[in-house]
């Protein structure tokens, strides 16, 4: 969420940012906020004057009573009563205006970084760099679920009977491989200095609206009926929520955390919720990384975070590339974002396996995550990035490590997590 003072003083910059994100339907929101803000400040000014007058008259009443001037004191009391009625009306109006302003402000996109390429949607995202040589086997690579089914590693039919499309049973060595990758990713991040955390898997609505836009919330989150609780779509939600309404000492920053959680997503309106595939599903597990830092350090941490994911995948011999999301593909709270994409030998193209985002102070402003610094308090910057998210990662892993005889080669870094097993047959 943008600082209202910045919007008030720079409305054209905010409007130009909206145009860069191709959300012209939101241009009127800027003028709406300015009008509401003006009304709010006028209301607050009148209310403050009444409060000051009330304090002044209250002292006068005390003096008059001490002097025995009861009639004059009663007149003053009636004056206070009239003012109190008007003050109550103004305080109610202040609250209503504050709620309206917050609601509109939460729909206005964050100011994107000047380096972000301008484009309408993900077709205009920009490739930054490739890591590792793409594999072109001289034998056919089957569809990922066919590979798993031949190894008795997945049961989609039973899952469909139990929960419907978008769910699966992982079995045997494939299930073990899934857990091995998660455990390896955990230790990989701990070795890079991150603190391991297992967060709550449900969060309250005020945390949900603090970490994402309304449109994302509607498309992603599962609501617990009868409770003010939502299932998390990623552990970033509860990890950033951990700092809600806190004041962190500047000396304690940065906070670098890596978290494990299951994730639940409605995938409302999403294309590709396949009957036989596991690329886009309702439930999966993920290792995440989150950073809370000083504003001037967030660009440096952004570079470190996406590099961690690249290094992890390369340690498992999976070719990847980084893609910068263009302005139209950025979620409203994001300042800058890279996707990490893995190579698919079957499709002979890259596909997304992780996303790294710098959100500036947008989440911190919504959740009141403040830093106590030398020159006073300010809002922290927050960043997040996917370490690894099976089963998408499993798709890349299986395709890139499939042997001609149908077996799966296990990279050396995973041997300890697979009980020494070097091949899945």
Q: Is 338 helix (H, G, I), strand (E, B) or coil?
A: strand
Percent of the chain scoring above 70 in pLDDT: 98
Spatial separation of the C-alpha atoms in residues 328 and 306, rounded to whole Å: 20
pTM for the whole structure: 0.88
> Please, how many CA atoms are within 13 Å of residue 313, restricted to the half-sphere of its CB?
34
The pairing of beta strand 195-197 with beta strand 255-264: parallel
Q: Which domains does the chain have, with CATH numbers?
A: 4-105 (1.10.287.40), 122-424 (3.30.930.10)
Residue 269 has pLDDT above 60, yes or no: no
Give residue 275's pLDDT: 54
Mean pLDDT is lowest, of 9-13, 24-28, 49-53, for 49-53
Q: What share of residues in the chain are helix, strand, coil (percent, to 5)?
A: 50, 20, 30
Give residue 69's pLDDT: 79
Mean pLDDT is lowest, of 21-35, 155-169, 183-197, for 155-169
Residue 83 has pLDDT above 60, yes or no: yes
Spatial separation of the C-alpha atoms in residues 172 and 191, rounded to whole Å: 29
43's tokens: 């209301």
């Amino acid at each position: 969420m943008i600082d209202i003072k910045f919007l008030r003083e720079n409305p054209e910059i905010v409007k130009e940012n909206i145009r860069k994100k191709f959300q012209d339907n939101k241009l009127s929101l800027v003028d709406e906020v300015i009008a509401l803000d003006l009304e709010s400040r006028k209301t607050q000014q009148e209310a403050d004057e009444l409060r000051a007058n009330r304090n002044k008259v209250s002292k006068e009443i005390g003096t008059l009573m001490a002097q025995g001037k009861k009639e004059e004191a009663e007149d003053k009391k009636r004056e206070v009563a009239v003012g109190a009625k008007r003050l109550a009306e103004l305080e109610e109006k202040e609250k209503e205006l504050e709620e309206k302003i917050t609601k509109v402000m939460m729909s206005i996109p964050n100011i994107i970084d000047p380096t972000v390429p301008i484009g309408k949607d993900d077709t205009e995202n920009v490739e930054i760099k490739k890591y590792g040589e793409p594999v072109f086997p001289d034998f056919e690579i089957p569809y990922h679920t066919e590979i798993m089914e031949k190894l008795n590693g997945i049961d989609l039919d039973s899952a469909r009977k139990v929960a419907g499309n978008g769910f699966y049973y992982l079995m045997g060595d494939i299930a073990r491989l899934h857990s091995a990758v998660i455990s390896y990713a955990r230790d990989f991040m701990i070795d890079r200095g991150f603190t391991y955390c297992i967060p709550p898997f449900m969060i309250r609505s005020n945390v949900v609206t603090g970490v994402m836009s309304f449109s994302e919330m509607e498309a992603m989150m599962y609501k617990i009926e009868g409770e003010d609780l939502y299932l998390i779509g990623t552990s970033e939600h509860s990890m950033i929520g951990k700092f809600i309404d806190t004041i962190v000492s500047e000396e304690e920053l940065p906070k670098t955390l890596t978290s494990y959680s299951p994730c639940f997503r409605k995938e409302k309106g999403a294309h590709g919720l396949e009957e036989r595939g596991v690329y886009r599903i309702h439930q999966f597990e993920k290792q995440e990384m989150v950073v809370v830092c000083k504003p001037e350090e967030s660009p440096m941490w952004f570079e470190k975070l996406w590099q961690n994911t690249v290094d992890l995948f390369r340690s498992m011999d999976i070719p990847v590339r980084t893609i910068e999301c263009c302005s139209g593909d950025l979620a409203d709270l994001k300042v800058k974002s890279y996707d990490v994409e893995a190579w698919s030998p079957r499709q002979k193209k890259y596909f997304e396996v992780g996303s790294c985002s710098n959100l500036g102070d947008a989440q911190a402003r919504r959740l009141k995550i403040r830093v106590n610094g030398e020159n006073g308090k300010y809002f922290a910057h927050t960043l997040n990035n996917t370490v690894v998210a099976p089963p998408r990662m499993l798709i890349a892993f299986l395709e890139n490590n499939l042997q001609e005889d149908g077996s799966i080669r296990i990279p050396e870094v995973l041997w300890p997590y697979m009980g020494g097993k070097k091949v899945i047959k």
